[in-house]
Amino acid sequence: MRNSPMSPPGSFLWSRRIFLTLLTGFVLVPVYVMVSSSLKPLADVTGKFRWLPSSLTIRPYIDIWSTVPLARYFVNSLIVAGAATVCSVVIAVFAAYAVSRYSFRGKRVFTVTVLSTQMFPGILFLLPLFLIYVNIGNATGIALFGSRGGLILTYLTFSLPFSIWMLIGYFDSVPRDLDEAALVDGCGPLGALFRVVVPAAIPGIVAVAVYAFMTAWGEVLFASVMTNDTTRTLAVGLQGYSTLNDVYWNQIMAASLVVSVPVVAGFLLLQRYLVAGLTAGAVK
């Protein structure tokens, strides 16, 4: 049962019990507030806070769709985050394969440059990027500013550095003999990548996809500047409930929950892969 061979002393067990209990409370309280408030009538959330609802209602879950165009925001977020994830993973797989399997001039420069973009404050390139998108739009007619395409392009680069970095570690752990065998069998380098390396690195790829999706689903700064009414994503749209004269806290909590459940459920289902991916790749 236990990892380390000695049974832990009582002091360890007691401190563990106290620590984990307090931490559970700290983590759970906001989750409880979100769930319970989403089932309360409006009077319960505008008056003094109460731990238990005076009555339970699913009204907020019906009203959220008409107070703001939540369904449209939802679809936008789904398209943007989904497309950004797919593109980011495919591009990261190619780049990581190149770095992991080939030696070429500029390899170190590439990895260092890509990783260092993680350091850039988003605020530094927000305005220049906005200008670039507007200029590309004027010059070529491809609308990047205000469109989902522009947002997809932006978000996929946000997750790219971490994804490449993690996949390099992961691909390095896949034995080279395997792709050499595939090459002998007549696969091209891409065949070896897709038939041998990618299947062996599935946990790492799932982990990277989860990370990319969460990054795109939760981003606020660029979403608030680069979208308009039709392309608005949930990150911005959800603030629509708070700027009205009445603050419908029960609806805000219901909408937050509806928006969170897919991501949290997906994350918890796939977290095994994330830990495995981190263990094999990034943390090594």
Q: Which of residues 47-76 bind another protein (CB under 8 A)?
A: 47-50
Residue located via tokens 């419908």: 248
Is residue 28 involved in binding another protein (CB under 8 A)? yes
Eight-class DSSP state of 75: H
Is residue 24 involved in binding another protein (CB under 8 A)? yes
Is residue 156 involved in binding another protein (CB under 8 A)? yes
**Sign, Cα dihedral of 169, 97, 116, 208:** negative
Is residue 26 involved in binding another protein (CB under 8 A)? yes
Contacts with another protein in 221-240 (CB under 8 A)?
221, 224-225, 234-235, 238-239
- Dmax over CA atoms of the chain, in Å, equals 73
Q: Which is nearer to another protein, 10 or 141 (CB)?
A: 10
CA within 13 Å, CB half, 250: 24
Q: Between the CA atoms of 78, 79, 84 and 90, what dihedral angle is there, to the nearest 10 degrees?
A: 110
Q: Which stretch binds another protein (CB under 8 A): 56-64, 65-73, 167-175, 262-270?
A: 262-270
Minimum distance, C-beta of residue 225 to another protein, in the bound complex (Å): 8
In DSSP notation, 10-27 reads HHHHHHHHHHHHHHHHHH
Contacts with another protein in 116-135 (CB under 8 A)?
117-129, 131-132
- Contact with another protein (CB under 8 A) among 73, 74, 97, 273: 97
